Amino acid sequence: MSFSLSLKVRDYECDMQGIVNNAIYQHYLEHAPHEYLLSHGLSFAEMTREGIVIVLVRAELDYRKSLQAGDEFQVTVKAARPTPVRLVFEQSILHEQDAPTILEARIICTAVNAVGSPYFPEQLADLIDG
């Protein structure tokens, strides 16, 4: 189940070289899974209020090209469950105009219970293909 979110680079996200600052891409990658979950009727904020705390374990980012101010792009999200307690968001950022890959990422998360032990919340099961 893949999800795609359209965004546009804002001027203030660019560095002195006129390209998107490397840290800004992480903002895009952070925002897309929130929208992905909302499209499945889930909210990070609501899950947190219910005691389901999802935490980042690792972020792997491979930068391929750069975006510039005004560029329109897509952030794709696909969820995977490589281990019993891990949720991975496999993500790409694609330039809207000619669709080259700007960035590929694996965002690895888990949920932790009240005593800090990792687990996989059943609410997330529908996100996983297969």
- Enumerate the active-site residues: 15
Only one residue has tokens 């980012």, namely 61
Give the dihedral sign, CA 18/21/27/33. Answer: positive
Report how far residue 122's alpha carbon sits from residue 117's, in angstroms, rounded to the nearest whole number.
15
DSSP letter, residue 68 = B
Q: How many CB atoms lie within 10 A of CB 11?
A: 9
Buried b (16+ CB within 10 A) or exposed e, 48-61: eeeebebeeeeeee
